[in-house]
Structure formats: structure tokens, C-alpha cells
Chain A
């Protein structure tokens, strides 16, 4: 079946620290992978995506590389800011299956 497993939180970091949030997946077929972010009081927003193996998605200083050999899509940022405090969701879709699968979310708090 298809599923996403992501690192449990909450995660608390100091400003300018390095961030890694782990995400691994299982999928039948060839999935596309996503990171969504949910800021307090707002809806989910697409942060970045990668549609095939070895692709790197990037946005707002965040990066994630689609690793087929390790079935992973870890989210990284070199220097976090207070404004990055949010819940981050890893997700996958196998378009032929017309389904989207989300991880459980990782809450990040960045303190000044």
C-alpha cells in the first residue's frame, strides 16, 4: 500500500539553527512527493514538491531531495527563522491511484 511516515515532534529550535524533518514513504508505482506547511490559524500550503527520483524541491530556503534508494524525502533548512514556526506535513500521491497520503505532521517552534 501507500503511506508516509514522518518524524514525530514537536521540534524546538533556536533561530538560525539547522533543521531536518525526516520523511520516509512506501508506495506502489511511482509517487510524487510533497511538503506542505500549515501556519497557525491558516490552511495547508504547498511548500515544495518533487515528481521523480533525484529531483530536489526547494522554496523559501527549504529543500528536500527525492531519494528512491532510501524511500525518503527529508526536509532541510540551513538557518530557521521564528516565522518558520508551523506544522509540516510530508505527503505523496500516485496519480494513477487518484489518492493523496499525508503524514501525521511535525510541529516546529523556532525561538529567538
Chain B
């Protein structure tokens, strides 16, 4: 079974530029999560989708971050414009609906200079 795929694996941008990350969850997983993991901290949930609807985006900085999951499969997370404090690893995870176990992708490491 293929795991959660993310791209790119690494990205370096300058502040005020924009960036987009892509995630393809495990086939059949209805729930998709985006997390931000700052160095030395645990992952923080940014947004959770159930199929193509948003379940929770209470911790998403909506002035600069946006995410979509068209057709209820893959998803993109965008930052525009980026700030230095956005430097982090962005993790995507997926799970079957109403289950506890989340499967994580390898993450995208973003460096904002």
C-alpha cells in the first residue's frame, strides 16, 4: 500500500514570496490533516479536511495560509506572503473516517530567508 506522498521535500524561499505544498493521501482515506512542526516542537494542527470539506481550521493563520482539497483526494497548502517564522516542516497525514490512526507523509521542510 502506498503511503502519504508529499512534495516538494525541501523548499527555500525569501520572505514575502509565496509557496505551495502538495499532498496525496492514502487511497480511500477520507480525512486529511496539515500540520506545522517548528524545530524543537511537536506538530501543530493547521487544518483538517473530511473529504473535501473543512472540519477544523481554527489554528490556520488565514491572512496568509490557505488550503484546499478539491475532489476530496489530494490537497495543497499555500503560504502567501511567507514570513521568517513560517520556517518549519509541513506534515500531511491521512486517516480513515472516524478512526484514530493517522498516517504521516515525510514532510516538506520550508526555510524562509
Which residues of chain A are within 8 angstroms of B91 by Cβ–Cβ distance?
43-44
Bound-state Cα–Cα, A99 to B102, Å: 12
| Chain A contact residues: helix, strand, loop or mixed | strand
Interface centre among A45, A93, A102 (most CB of B within 10 A): A102
A99 touches B45 (CB 8 A): yes
A3 to chain B, nearest CB (A): 10
Candidates B33, B44, B100, B105; contact of A51 at CB < 8 Å: B100
Q: Is A22 an interface residue (CB 8 A)?
A: no
B55 touches A43 (CB 8 A): no
Bound-state Cα–Cα, A105 to B10, Å: 22
Q: Is B21 an interface residue (CB 8 A)?
A: no
| Chain B contact residues: helix, strand, loop or mixed | loop
Given contacts A43-B4, A100-B45, contact A32 B55 (CB under 8 A): no
A43 touches B105 (CB 8 A): yes
Q: Is A69 an interface residue (CB 8 A)?
A: no
The closest CB in chain B to the CB of A33 belongs to: B100
A46 touches B43 (CB 8 A): no
Q: Is A81 an interface residue (CB 8 A)?
A: no
Q: Is B63 an interface residue (CB 8 A)?
A: no
4 shortest interchain CB distances as A-B pairs: A102-B42, A43-B104, A44-B104, A43-B106
Given contacts A43-B4, A43-B104, A43-B105, contact A95 B40 (CB under 8 A): no
Which residues of chain B are within 8 angstroms of A44 by Cβ–Cβ distance?
43, 91, 93, 104
B4 to chain A, nearest CB (A): 7
A102 to chain B, nearest CB (A): 3
A15 to chain B, nearest CB (A): 26
User: For window 78-102 of chain B, which residues contact chain A by CB distance below 8 Å?
Assistant: 91, 93, 98, 100-102
Bound-state Cα–Cα, A104 to B100, Å: 20
Q: Is A34 an interface residue (CB 8 A)?
A: yes
User: For window 28-84 of chain B, which residues contact chain A by CB distance below 8 Å?
Assistant: 33, 40-45, 48, 55-56
